[in-house]
């Protein structure tokens, strides 16, 4: 009997030694999603929502069927070369790369987290493109390498192409880190493996898109493309999700069926359109 107790103690010590400080991060990275019929928030108020809201926000779907609207483009676009405080931890392929300033701050935070894991050879090869620039790219490179103006996520200011100074992202350590960890910082791999039939775009390990938490966590947990996630929200109407100890409520509203939506009476929330026909309200519970 004593022999078995001793073996059990040694096993527990060994497990604790093997995982060390990894146990807490693992629990923090756990994502719990609960689907339920829409019940709304405990204390709510109703606000008016117009159809223009469908085309604004961080969850907009952009593809061949759903084009970028003028009001969809981020208003805080900056030239990264003019903001060294935003680029001190990664390189730029050229000096003309533009990006949403808020998005650049989130990307910098993510790159700094990667450095703590010993991954530090990132660069940005492309960011925001205006419609004219996108059109020139499409004319020069053709449909196999570029999308028409208005049909590319790069026209939003929410997407960027990330490279590595050490090689192709398909095999570079930076590419593997992005695929495994970008979701923790609000980014998703927009065109993942085995989703070409859904997205219409082949696997691109370099193209990431900002959607914010908790959405990036749910997409990662369920191995979804953005198209699938928006369908999922439309189907379930309301979900709750716990990420890193925080609980969120995500509600979907079809704007064609309502002129008002419910939002928390107290506390912060965000509203994003989907560029299809609905809006999504996200609140920390």
Q: 219-270, pLDDT tens digit by residue? A: 999 999 999 999 999 999 999 999 989 999 999 999 987 788 999 988 899 9
Alpha carbons 245 and 31: distance in angstroms, whole number = 9
Is 64-210 a CATH 3.40.50.300 domain? Answer: no
When computed from its CA atoms, the radius of gyration of the chain, rounded to whole angstroms, is 21
Alpha carbons 189 and 223: distance in angstroms, whole number = 10
Catalytic residue check, 204? yes
Of 51-55, 139-143, 240-244, the range with the lowest mean pLDDT is 139-143
Average pLDDT on 36-49 reads: 70
Catalytic annotation, pick one of 166, 173, 204, 284: 204
Quote the pLDDT of residue 43.
Answer: 83
Q: Is the pLDDT of residue 23 over 50?
A: no
Average pLDDT on 175-199 reads: 96
Q: Is the pLDDT of residue 16 over 50?
A: no
Contacts with 210 (C-beta within 8 Å, 6 or more apart), sequence order: 58, 100, 103, 106, 158, 159, 186, 187
Quote the pLDDT of residue 71.
Answer: 93
* CB neighbourhood size of 135 (10 A): 15
Average pLDDT on 28-32 reads: 56
The secondary structure element, H or E, covering residue 73 is none
Average pLDDT on 143-158 reads: 84
Contacts with 170 (C-beta within 8 Å, 6 or more apart), sequence order: 205
Average pLDDT on 63-86 reads: 95
Helix (H, G, I), strand (E, B) or coil at 260: strand
Average pLDDT on 90-111 reads: 96
Task: Find out whether 238 and 204 touch, Cβ atoms under 8 Å.
Answer: no
Task: Find out whether 38 and 64 touch, Cβ atoms under 8 Å.
Answer: no
What is the pTM (predicted TM-score) of this model? 0.84
31-59+224-285 fold: Phosphorylase Kinase; domain 1 (3.30.200)
Task: Identify the bridge partners of residue 33 per DSSP, sorted by sequence position.
Answer: 241
Quote the pLDDT of residue 27.
Answer: 31
Helix (H, G, I), strand (E, B) or coil at 36: strand
Question: What average pLDDT is seen over the chain?
Answer: 86
Range(s) of the chain covered by CATH 3.30.1380.10: 64-210
Quote the pLDDT of residue 7.
Answer: 36
Quote the pLDDT of residue 226.
Answer: 98
In this structure, the chain runs to a length of: 285
Q: Where would I find the beta strands (DSSP E) of the chain?
A: 31-36, 44-48, 77-79, 91-92, 98-100, 122-126, 159-164, 187-189, 207-210, 238-243, 246-254, 260-264, 269-273, 278-284
Alpha carbons 138 and 164: distance in angstroms, whole number = 24
Quote the pLDDT of residue 150.
Answer: 81
Q: Is the pLDDT of residue 279 over 90?
A: yes
Q: Is the pLDDT of residue 58 over 50?
A: yes
Average pLDDT on 29-34 reads: 62
Range(s) of the chain covered by CATH 3.30.200.180: 31-59+224-285
Average pLDDT on 3-7 reads: 37
Longest dimension (CA), the chain: 78
Q: Which residue would you say has higher pLDDT here, 28 or 247? A: 247
């Amino acid at each position: 009997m004593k022999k078995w107790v001793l073996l059990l103690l040694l096993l527990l010590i060994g497990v604790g030694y093997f995982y060390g400080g990894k146990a807490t991060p693992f629990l923090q990275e756990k994502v719990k999603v609960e689907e339920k019929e829409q019940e709304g928030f405990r204390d709510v108020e109703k606000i008016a929502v117009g159809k223009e809201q469908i085309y604004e926000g961080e969850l907009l779907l952009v593809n061949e069927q759903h084009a970028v609207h003028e009001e969809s483009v981020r208003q805080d676009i900056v030239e990264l070369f003019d903001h060294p405080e935003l680029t001190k931890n990664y390189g730029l392929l050229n000096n003309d790369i533009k990006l949403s300033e808020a998005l650049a701050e989130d990307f910098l935070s993510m790159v700094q987290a990667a450095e703590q894991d010993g991954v530090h050879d990132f660069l940005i090869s492309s960011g925001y493109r205006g419609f004219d620039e996108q059109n020139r790219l499409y004319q020069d490179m053709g449909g196999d390498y570029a999308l028409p103006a208005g049909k590319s996520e790069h026209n939003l200011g929410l997407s960027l192409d990330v490279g590595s100074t050490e090689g192709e992202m398909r095999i570079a350590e930076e590419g593997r880190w992005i695929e495994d960890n970008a979701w923790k910082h609000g980014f998703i791999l927009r065109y993942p493996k085995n989703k070409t039939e859904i997205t219409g775009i082949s696997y691109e390990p370099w193209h990431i898109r900002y959607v914010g938490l908790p959405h990036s966590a749910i997409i990662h947990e369920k191995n979804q493309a953005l198209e699938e996630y928006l369908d999922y929200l439309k189907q379930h109407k309301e979900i709750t999700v716990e990420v890193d100890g925080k609980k969120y409520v995500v509600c979907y509203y079809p704007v064609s069926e309502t002129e008002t939506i419910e939002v928390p009476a107290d506390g912060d929330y965000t509203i994003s359109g989907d560029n299809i026909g609905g809006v999504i309200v996200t609140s920390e519970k």
